């Protein structure tokens, strides 16, 4: 535990027998360095039940209450294998250094095991700061990382960010939320061409699918639709798209994404594990993800949106991601969130909120009109936002994703 959390961790410390402390000292604790010095450097072997619990991992709660997923040794082994084979494309070595720019409790933490297993290095940032991140890549040996799109957007907003400054970067992974194609293009032009996207959930340990570096290059040169894909299933991963009755739908049709394999959690911990109304549940070995998507003829997964995020307005089903990608094409827009807000006439009205790039001097009225006109030209009229707001910043959850749940609560409260 980091010593800076000493006071707020008091209730937790009462429940454990040992506390290993970094960046400080307190009576009754073991300094991290002393803990390391006492360890046996020889490899040891012990029998472990592959289905025994490794960790409880909680959902981010962007749209609902967090739930604890039971992850097992089997899950972590599947993740390690697929990280090495499908994300990294090779076994890490002593020249590799992973940068944990986000919380190790999120997807970045999955890279701890493969990097330690094969003797590679890791740097953990106390918090994400784009300027510090650039310095770590330029001057401290960091050469691979995984970010969520909001973090990438803030990196692109740094003045003077160039491929030359990021030349040491061997891989930029991204996950946790969709990245607009225009943002991917900017990354290729200004950060690196070595991009890999991966999809997964707390309940299905990443990577479940991977969009490779080669896929990104093909998407930018020949097939732009590829940039909206989450990629192909990893080794040992099965994916189906099903309708509301659990029946597989034809190729190209939208339905719920379900998945099966060693990457799927054992179940939810506690009350959530007994709640039949929980959206994401394992049935007959298949995890029903609550995500909506489709599969193409090459077995690539395209995520349309989260089931709970879909907007029903005037009888039409509307997917926020489609609108967010269009709005993100406006140069002044840094981040965008689209939601359905209760409306007496429409059932739900499409509401968009955006933040602007740093030091933007755009007139808000003119920009709002321009964004709405852009939407009008790019989509059916019923999808166009009925309400668009420019805000200073978005609330973020602990993993750096936009907390739509909080935004929606704030907007719903305004209407009461």
Which residues are within 8 A (CB) of 2 and not within 5 positions of it... i.e. 6 or more apart? 21, 22, 23, 24, 126
Mean pLDDT of 340-352: 86
Is the pLDDT confidence value at 93 over 90? yes
Mean pLDDT of 8-29: 92
Determine the Cα–Cα distance for residues 332 and 387; give it in Å rounded to an integer: 18
Mean pLDDT of 96-124: 93
238-307 has CATH 2.60.120.480 classification: no
Q: pLDDT category, 401, cuts 50, 70, 90?
A: confident
Is the pLDDT confidence value at 275 over 90? no
Mean pLDDT of 344-367: 91
pLDDT of residue 298: 95
Mean pLDDT of 198-208: 94
Determine the Cα–Cα distance for residues 25 and 73; give it in Å rounded to an integer: 33
pLDDT of residue 125: 94
Is the pLDDT confidence value at 144 over 70? yes
Determine the Cα–Cα distance for residues 73 and 113; give it in Å rounded to an integer: 12
Tell me the per-residue pLDDT of 217-250, one tens digit each, with 9 for 90 and over.
999 999 999 999 999 999 999 999 999 899 999 9
Q: Which residue has the higher pLDDT, 234 or 175?
A: 234
Is the pLDDT confidence value at 260 over 80? yes
Q: pLDDT category, 6, cuts 50, 70, 90?
A: very high
Is the fold of 53-233 the same as that of 238-307? no
14-18, 259-263, 346-350: which has the minimum mean pLDDT?
346-350
Mean pLDDT of 350-371: 94
310-414 has CATH 3.30.300.30 classification: yes
Distance between start and end Cα atoms, the chain: 43
Q: pLDDT category, 279, cuts 50, 70, 90?
A: low
Q: pLDDT category, 110, cuts 50, 70, 90?
A: very high
Q: For the chain, give the longest Cα–Cα distance.
A: 69
Q: What is the CATH number of domain 53-233?
A: 3.40.50.12780
Mean pLDDT of 24-31: 93
pLDDT of residue 115: 96
Determine the Cα–Cα distance for residues 70 and 259; give it in Å rounded to an integer: 16
Mean pLDDT of 9-24: 93
Q: pLDDT category, 354, cuts 50, 70, 90?
A: very high
Domain locations in the chain as residue ranges:
1-45, 53-233, 238-307, 310-414
Taking the model in full, what pTM does it have? 0.78
Q: pLDDT category, 269, cuts 50, 70, 90?
A: confident
């Amino acid at each position: 535990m980091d010593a800076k959390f000493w006071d707020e961790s008091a209730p937790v410390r009462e429940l454990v027998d040992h506390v290993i402390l970094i960046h400080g000292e307190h009576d009754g604790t073991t300094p991290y360095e002393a803990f390391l010095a006492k360890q046996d450097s020889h490899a040891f072997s012990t029998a472990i039940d592959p289905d025994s619990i490794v960790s409880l991992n909680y959902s981010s709660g962007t749209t609902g209450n967090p739930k604890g997923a039971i992850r097992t040794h089997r899950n972590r082994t599947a993740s390690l294998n697929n990280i090495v084979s499908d994300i990294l494309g090779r076994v890490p070595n002593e020249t590799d250094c992973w940068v944990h720019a986000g919380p190790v409790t999120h997807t970045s933490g999955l890279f701890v095991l493969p990097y330690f297993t094969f003797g590679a290095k890791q740097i953990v940032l106390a918090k994400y700061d784009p300027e510090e991140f650039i310095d770590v890549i330029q001057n401290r040996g960091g050469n691979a990382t995984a970010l969520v799109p909001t973090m990438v957007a803030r990196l692109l907003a740094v003045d003077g960010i160039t491929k030359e400054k990021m030349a040491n970067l061997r891989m930029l992974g991204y996950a946790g939320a969709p990245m607009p194609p225009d943002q991917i293009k900017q990354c290729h032009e200004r950060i690196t061409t070595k991009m890999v996207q991966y999809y997964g959930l707390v309940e299905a340990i990443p990577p479940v699918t991977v969009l490779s570096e080669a896929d990104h290059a093909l998407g930018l040169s020949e097939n732009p639709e590829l940039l909206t894909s989450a990629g192909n299933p990893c080794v040992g991963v099965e994916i189906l798209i099903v309708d509301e009755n659990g029946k597989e739908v034809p190729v190209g049709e939208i339905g719920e994404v379900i998945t099966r394999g060693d990457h799927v959690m054992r179940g939810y911990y506690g009350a959530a594990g007994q709640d039949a109304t929980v959206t994401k549940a394992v049935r007959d070995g298949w995890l029903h993800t609550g995500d909506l998507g489709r599969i193409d003829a090459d077995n690539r997964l395209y995520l349309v949106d989260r089931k709970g995020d879909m907007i029903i307005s005037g009888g039409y089903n509307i997917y926020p991601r489609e609108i967010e990608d269009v709005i993100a094409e406006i140069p002044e827009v840094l981040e965008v969130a689209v939601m359905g807000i209760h409306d007496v006439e429409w059932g739900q009205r499409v509401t968009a909120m955006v933040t602007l790039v740093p030091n933007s001097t755009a007139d808000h009225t003119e920009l709002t009109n321009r964004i709405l006109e852009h939407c009008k030209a790019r989509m059916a009229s019923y999808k166009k936002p009925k309400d668009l707001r420019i805000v200073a910043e978005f609330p973020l959850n602990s993993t750096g994703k936009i907390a739509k749940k909080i935004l929606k609560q704030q907007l719903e409260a305004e209407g009461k």
